[in-house]
Amino acid sequence: MNFEQIKNKISEMRETQGFEKSFDFTRTFTAKKNTADTFSIPLPTEGPFYELGYNISFTKNSKLTRGGNVYNLCAVKLRFRSQADNNAQSNDYIPVPLISTPGADNSSRYGSRPFTHMYKAGDVILIDYDNRAPAALVAGDTYEMEDEEISICFNGKLYPGINLQ
């Protein structure tokens, strides 16, 4: 590329950013033990947000006792929904370890989990959580639930100045 082509490319990129820009929305919250609740991420009114994916990290403070062995785990389950259209993005709560990257401190990092949803300008991403003991998978399983810290980052494209009805 020559100098003029580079200048044109930069000019086009700059103009595009006025109508489409990469954006991250983040939230860190404590999923209180033995509790189900909802946290929210308000979205800006400047335009709709097209979610492309997310990252989640979590602690493993809770314990599972099985057959005399004790394991640390995070048993928090999540569901995401849009406040504007009350559109849940899953049919049920999903265990955090199933949908997380990077996950816990000792987990491998695989990058953002692809997941798309279009939110209207001014909408709110609602994050429902359930940090109550799950049903025992094996007879004799016992759970000691503790507070878990969940950090989530939704990434995608923000479209300033565009109004969707």
Domains observed in the chain: 18-158 (2.60.120)
Per-residue pLDDT, 110: 67
Per-residue pLDDT, 109: 63
Per-residue pLDDT, 163: 80
Amino acid identity of residue 90, one-letter, is S
Contact 72, 63 (CB under 8 A): yes
Per-residue pLDDT, 102: 67
Per-residue pLDDT, 35: 98
Per-residue pLDDT, 150: 96
Per-residue pLDDT, 113: 83
Per-residue pLDDT, 15: 85
From the list 23, 6, 8, 3, the residue with the least C-alpha distance to 159 is: 23
Per-residue pLDDT, 126: 95
Q: What are the structure tokens assigned to 46, written together?
A: 């400047």
Per-residue pLDDT, 76: 97
- Tens digit of pLDDT at every position of the chain (165 positions): 899 999 999 888 888 888 899 999 999 999 999 999 999 999 999 999 999 999 999 999 999 999 999 999 999 999 999 999 888 888 999 999 888 776 777 766 666 788 899 999 999 999 999 999 999 989 999 999 999 999 999 999 999 988 876
- The residues near 98 (Cβ < 8 Å, ≥ 6 apart) are none
Q: What is the pTM of this model?
A: 0.85
Q: What DSSP element (H or E) covers 11?
A: helix 3-17
From the list 149, 128, 151, the residue with the least C-alpha distance to 33 is: 149
